[in-house]
Amino acid sequence: MKVSIKDFGVAMDVKQRGIEFQVKEPNGDLRGDFYLTMKHVIWCEGQTQRQNGKHLTWSKFIDLMDAYGHELGRRPRRRP
């Protein structure tokens, strides 16, 4: 994958608007845009508008990554 920053709307901390990453296949085909905001991570496949993308809170995103950690070659983290 080729990942590039499309819109860098941050200072030191991520602001309300967040950071926008554009994700492309190595051949240049657009996969979508990925946004990191203070409250959410957002995936917008293809030409999907940000407001219609798939929103996850940071807590749900972390839980999802923990649940699928074994598929990444790592053991899922256990909650205390």
Per-residue pLDDT reduced to its tens digit, 56-75: 998 998 888 888 766 666 65
Higher pLDDT, 54 or 68: 54
Select from 48, 51, 46 the least CA-distant residue to 24: 46
- Please write the tens of the pLDDT for every residue from 20-39: 889 999 999 999 999 988 88
Q: For residues 21 and 4, is the Cβ–Cβ distance under 8 A? A: yes
pLDDT (average), residues 9-14: 58
Q: Which residues pair with 3 in a beta bridge?
A: 23
- Quick one: tokens of 27? 């051949």
Report yes or no on whether pTM surpasses 0.85. no
pLDDT of residue 9: 65
32: left (phi over 0), alpha (psi -120 to 50) or beta: left
